[in-house]
Amino acid sequence: MPVTPQTNVSLTEISAVLKSRDDYVICGHVSPDGDCLGSQLALAGILRRLGKRVTCVLAKPEKPDVRLSFLPGLADMVYARDFMGEVGTFVAVDVPNRERIGDASRLLDEAEYSITIDHHAYPETMSTLTYCNPSMAATSMLIWELSKCLRVDNSGDIALCAYTGLVTDTGRFQYQNADSRAFASASEMITAGVDASFVSREVFQNRSEASVLLEACSIKHMKLFCGGQAAISYVTRRDFEKCHAVKADAEALIDTLRSIAGVRVACMLREQGDSIRGSFRAKDDTDVAAIAASFGGGGHKAAAGFSIEGPIKGALVRVEKAIEQALK
């Protein structure tokens, strides 16, 4: 499996380290998605089955997407800012850098030892040990492989958390990253007891009314350009207030833009505090991570994110120009 140059250890070697240590704090990235939370909780389950002491922390004091509330152990997660225990080993999953671990940066500094397990390519590392494999569809696949290295019983809750990470990061196995390895891992997880239809109902067929109303605002603001090969839209703070929506209600909006016939690249912008948060999705081999990088963001070739300062109108102009350049 191809890994990044920053990788300095194998999963087998990580498994040996995990066996040798006893106290763990597991962290993901700010605004955690299904793969982030699923990876954290699956790894926590693995370590607990080895008799380890584990705490899962949230990088920022923000509530996870309510659609993921079924994940075993989610209710026991604590905000990193509130964790005051000793940090033996700090494990970062699905996150490559300090900027994305928020308040948990303090815990990383306090840790005796640190490990990063991720699938986001990044030119630097923040941990003692780093394993990063961008060819894997989800970090939860790496955690699943780790469970096999450790020869831990990965049935039940561990499989459920890992499958949730995989099915969300592949967009229900619709994205380009849904390769044979992703389907093979999913098959193993289902064999280990996952009810795939239950996960689909909870995550993909469980939208709030506010999310649907917010989608109506997004469709109203939508613009097709580049001869219909690109779609862009946005939602404002006013839209959120009018729809009584929260940040999680905007997660599905990008998929509506991406689903339009002929669209190769979709972009969704939302006002967030004093900045604009943007998401890219691609349906072909267009590298949207490269577009996001031009705004200081990043991600994967087919899915990436970024933040941009200034008013929404200015952001729309800048992002449209960047997409036009990429599609030339």
Strand ranges in the chain using DSSP code E only, listed in sequence order: 23-27, 53-58, 78-79, 89-93, 113-118, 129-132, 223-225, 230-235, 265-272, 275-282, 298-299, 303-309
| Residues 6 or more apart whose Cβ sits within 8 Å of residue 222 | 231, 232, 233, 257
Helix ranges restricted to H, 120-245: 139-149, 157-169, 180-191, 196-204, 209-221, 237-243
Tell me if 231 sits within 8 A of 260, measured CB to CB: yes
What three-state secondary structure class fits 268? strand
Q: Which two tokens stand for residue 44?
A: 């926590």
Structural domains in the chain plus CATH codes: 11-204 (3.90.1640.10), 209-326 (3.10.310.30)
pLDDT score recorded for residue 76 = 97
Quote the pLDDT of residue 272. 87
191: CB partners within 8 A, 6+ apart: none
The residue count of the chain comes to 328
pTM here is 0.92
Distance, in Å, from the CA atom of 313 to the CA atom of 130, rounded to the nearest integer, reads 40
Lay out the sheet containing 230-235: strands in order across: 223-225, 230-235, 265-272, 275-282, 303-309, 298-299
Per-residue model confidence (pLDDT) at position 274: 83
Do 80 and 62 form a contact (C-beta atoms < 8 A)?
no
- Return the pLDDT at 1: 57
- pLDDT by residue for the chain (328 residues), tens digit each? 589 999 999 999 999 999 999 999 999 999 999 999 999 999 999 999 999 999 999 999 999 999 999 999 999 999 999 999 999 999 999 999 999 999 999 999 999 999 999 999 989 999 999 999 999 999 999 999 999 999 999 999 999 999 999 999 999 999 999 999 999 999 999 999 999 999 999 999 999 999 999 999 999 999 999 999 999 999 999 999 999 999 889 998 999 999 999 999 999 999 988 899 999 999 999 999 999 999 998 888 999 999 999 999 999 999 999 999 999 8
Contact 154, 192 (CB under 8 A): yes
